[in-house]
A and B are shown apart, each in its own frame.
Chain A
Amino acid sequence: MTDKYISKDGLNGLIASVKASGGRFVAPVLDTRQVVYKEVSSAEEIVDDYILPRNSYKEIAFPQTEILAKYELTRDGVTIDPVEIVARDTVVFGARPCEAASLASLNSVFTWDFIDETFTKRQEKVVVLSLGCVDADDECFCTTVNLSPASTEGSDVALYETENGYIVTPLTDKGTAFVSAHSDSFTDVAKGEEKKELVNPEKVEGVDLTKLGERLAKSPNYDNPEWAELTRKCCGCGACTYSCPTCHCFDIIDEGTAFEGERRKNWDACQFNHFTLHASGHNPRDTQYKRYRNRFMCKFHIYPTKFNSTGCVGCGRCIRVCPVRLDITDLMTAMSS
């Protein structure tokens, strides 16, 4: 399919068209002094001057909390009613290319040894319209993990900003089908319509992903005192993991009384003390640096070796949100040597 064009005002038509077909349109909006992905009903709500929303759009396919089943205990026994997975057609507008790459990584986790339908059924219904970045901040480091504002991995339709609109490039079958289904909202690209220049964040000096992976694979390095020295300031909150587009850990809990309640799937974070706490009281990750080490190993060793994908997309959210300014790129540099 050839490139199409949509003006910023024309987005209203697209939003209406998506809504009319029963879908929802998610885009970056301003909420309590922050840019976040939220469902919108008009183009005026969408912000266009942003680096990256605070939250990851992974929450569309992997919500922070969801009910898996309801249970009830009666005289006749226990009844367990699974809750049907509600998957709505969802369009994510303005996803950054770094983040678009992340959903593919998540998919490999949720389909690896067991197909987690709560994720896959929703992900199938998500159409990602990624938007090339025309700005970057100090925390962006996609180029360091071999991605760039021009990356198209995980994206269904690539958008490129122009003076008054966007040039639309469908990339996948899903993307082509989306553009065709809402063809009234798009026009042909007018002559002279020019893409704004994409801005590449600077590569972090001294990072070598191959060396990094090799080093993490060698077991003596696991107990290197450097881990403690570099990461003991970690305060152990879950801000990084909960804003990370590739963190995927969850916990299954029962909520309610002994007689009735619900079984829920909630986000969990390897940064929490009780994440690995055994029933015996023993905790194999008994200090914070060991928990941070796990998160780092997951991104740069487990993901690449197990799923052949990068666990880190360089979005920089974990750096921006960290209350003690623990910078993952500092570790990447240190561990590359």
Chain B
Amino acid sequence: MENELREKAKELLESGEVAVVIGYGFNRKKTRITPVFITKPEETDKLVFNELCVNNLSIYLTRKYRDIQKIGRPAIVAKGCDIKNIVVLITEGQTKREDIHILGVTCSGVVYKQELFKGELKPEIMPSKCHNCDVRNPHVADTVIGEKSDFTPPEEPTGMVFDKIKEIDAMSDSARWDFWNEHFNRCIKCYACRQLCSLCYCERCITEKNMPQWIETSAHPRGNLAWNLIRAMHLAGRCTFCGECERGCPVNIPLNLVNQKLVLTVKNAFGFESGIDENVHPPMIVFSEDDNENFIK
């Protein structure tokens, strides 16, 4: 599979179809996977794909990365889940389908965090998204690399995140408030969640709007709650549950719970799933006569 990937990347660079291949490579010690940017055909050997390739590289397609855009047209190595984010970027006008070459890779799951990998990809070190994955075969791609996966996701989503959501839903309001405050209180406002999210593509985040200061940026309970709620609301109907924010959180805030709850809510209310079809706009930015109106009382 890696050979196939390298060959294709080489071909794309040599023909000039793309100027840079955004992919995965090993670090110097060959212990961890890190994003790599290949611009020379002879360097495509650096590309790898394995169960440690957890990063969602679609962040590098956003406008924040001007120097990457300056290089030229990109090809991007993307798992099905990463492609969902690229699809949202297209539907929201952040990039054009024809401006990128998607090197879709078939995937049999990745680790939740690289540190957990001890030589074998066991189900318990995989994130919930992998156990319920419906895009192990890339759904939108210019080239698909790897053997076709015949994995069928369970009918009812399973995994820790879904169990925990049910548990939280069953809590009283005050217990739920305490649960989230306890977790959000640890927030250090490093904004890793935002920076790792390709859908947080605003070049000036609302926390950075300081004339006046819209959101309290201090890492006190009020400011932390404000930040985490605002980010959640801004991702409603858009988040694809890629899990990057939780993976990057240095203080282990269970952000996947927030995001999956939003995914479920939007699915119930609008029958919409984010990141599937690049021609369908997300429900929060369009009006449809068929929209559910039962919340108007």
Residue from the list B28, B196, B203 in contact with A323, Cβ < 8 A: B196
Find out whether the CB atom of A255 lies under 8 angstroms from the CB atom of B218.
yes
Beta-carbon contacts under 8 Å, A252-288 to B: 253-255, 264, 266-267, 269, 272-274, 277, 286-288
**B278 contacts A by Cβ under 8 Å:** no
**C-beta contact mask, B203-219 vs A, less than 8 Å → 1, else 0?**
11000101001001111
Residue from the list B60, B67, B194 in contact with A228, Cβ < 8 A: B67
Return chain A residues, CB-CB under 8 Å to B31: 138
Residue from the list B65, B188, B223, B252 in contact with A242, Cβ < 8 A: B188
Return chain B residues, CB-CB under 8 Å to A255: 213, 216, 218
Q: How far is the CB of A288 from chain B (nearest CB, A)?
A: 7
**A235 contacts B by Cβ under 8 Å:** yes
Interface segment, one of A6-14, A97-105, A193-201, A325-333: A325-333
**A146 contacts B by Cβ under 8 Å:** no
Which chain B residue has the least Cβ–Cβ distance from A251?
Answer: B217
CA of A138 to CA of B65, assembled, Å = 30
CA of A235 to CA of B250, assembled, Å = 14
Residue from the list A33, A64, A286, A323 in contact with B192, Cβ < 8 A: A323
CA of A237 to CA of B219, assembled, Å = 15
User: Known contacts being A64-B219, A232-B68, A288-B65, is A238 close to B27, with CB within 8 Å?
Assistant: no
Find out whether the CB atom of A239 lies under 8 angstroms from the CB atom of B217.
no
**B50 contacts A by Cβ under 8 Å:** no
User: Known contacts being A253-B213, A325-B32, is A242 close to B66, with CB within 8 Å?
Assistant: no
Find out whether the CB atom of B190 lies under 8 angstroms from the CB atom of A65.
no
**A32 contacts B by Cβ under 8 Å:** yes
**B251 contacts A by Cβ under 8 Å:** yes
Which chain A residue has the least Cβ–Cβ distance from B36?
Answer: A233
User: Known contacts being A253-B213, A266-B218, A266-B219, is A236 close to B28, with CB within 8 Å?
Assistant: no
Which chain A residue has the least Cβ–Cβ distance from B210?
Answer: A253
Which chain A residue has the least Cβ–Cβ distance from B222?
Answer: A255
Return chain A residues, CB-CB under 8 Å to B220: 65
Return chain A residues, CB-CB under 8 Å to B210: 253
**A246 contacts B by Cβ under 8 Å:** no
CA of A209 to CA of B51, assembled, Å = 36
Which chain B residue has the least Cβ–Cβ distance from A66?
Answer: B218
Find out whether the CB atom of A237 lies under 8 angstroms from the CB atom of B66.
no
Residue from the list A237, A253, A277, A333 in contact with B191, Cβ < 8 A: A237
Return chain B residues, CB-CB under 8 Å to A289: 67
User: Known contacts being A237-B191, A237-B192, A237-B195, is A324 close to B218, with CB within 8 Å?
Assistant: no
On chain B, the number of residues with a Cβ less than 8 Å from chain A's Cβ atoms is 46
Return chain B residues, CB-CB under 8 Å to A286: 66
Q: How far is the CB of A199 from chain B (nearest CB, A)?
A: 18
Find out whether the CB atom of B190 lies under 8 angstroms from the CB atom of A237.
yes
Find out whether the CB atom of A327 lies under 8 angstroms from the CB atom of B248.
no
**B145 contacts A by Cβ under 8 Å:** no
Beta-carbon contacts under 8 Å, A311-337 to B: 321, 323-327, 329-330, 333
Which chain B residue has the least Cβ–Cβ distance from A63?
Answer: B219
**B247 contacts A by Cβ under 8 Å:** yes
**A90 contacts B by Cβ under 8 Å:** no
**C-beta contact mask, A86-104 vs B, less than 8 Å → 1, else 0?**
0000000000000000000
**A54 contacts B by Cβ under 8 Å:** yes
Return chain B residues, CB-CB under 8 Å to A242: 188-190, 250
Residue from the list A233, A251, A254, A274 in contact with B34, Cβ < 8 A: A233
Beta-carbon contacts under 8 Å, A105-141 to B: 138
Q: How far is the CB of B189 from chain A (nearest CB, A)?
A: 7
**A169 contacts B by Cβ under 8 Å:** no
**A243 contacts B by Cβ under 8 Å:** yes
CA of A64 to CA of B217, assembled, Å = 11
CA of A232 to CA of B70, assembled, Å = 12
Beta-carbon contacts under 8 Å, A134-153 to B: 138
**B55 contacts A by Cβ under 8 Å:** yes
Find out whether the CB atom of A235 lies under 8 angstroms from the CB atom of B208.
no
Beta-carbon contacts under 8 Å, B17-49 to A: 27-29, 31-37
Find out whether the CB atom of A272 lies under 8 angstroms from the CB atom of B191.
yes
Find out whether the CB atom of B192 lies under 8 angstroms from the CB atom of A54.
no
User: Known contacts being A237-B191, A266-B217, A330-B27, is A321 close to B250, with CB within 8 Å?
Assistant: yes
Q: Which 10 A-B pairs have the closest CB atoms?
A: A323-B248, A237-B192, A238-B190, A325-B34, A237-B195, A65-B218, A233-B35, A235-B195, A287-B67, A274-B208
Given A65-B220, A329-B28, A330-B28, output 13 extra A-B contacts at Cβ < 8 Å: A54-B251, A64-B219, A235-B248, A239-B248, A267-B188, A267-B189, A274-B208, A287-B66, A323-B247, A324-B55, A325-B33, A326-B34, A327-B34
Question: Could you list which residues of chain B lie within 8 angstroms of chain A, going by C-beta atoms?
Answer: 27-29, 31-37, 55, 59-60, 64-68, 114, 183, 186, 188-192, 194-196, 203-204, 208, 210, 213, 216-220, 223, 244, 247-248, 250-252
Q: Could you give 13 example pairs across A and B, Cβ below 8 Å?
A: A65-B219, A65-B220, A235-B248, A237-B190, A237-B192, A237-B195, A239-B192, A241-B190, A254-B213, A255-B216, A273-B203, A273-B208, A330-B28
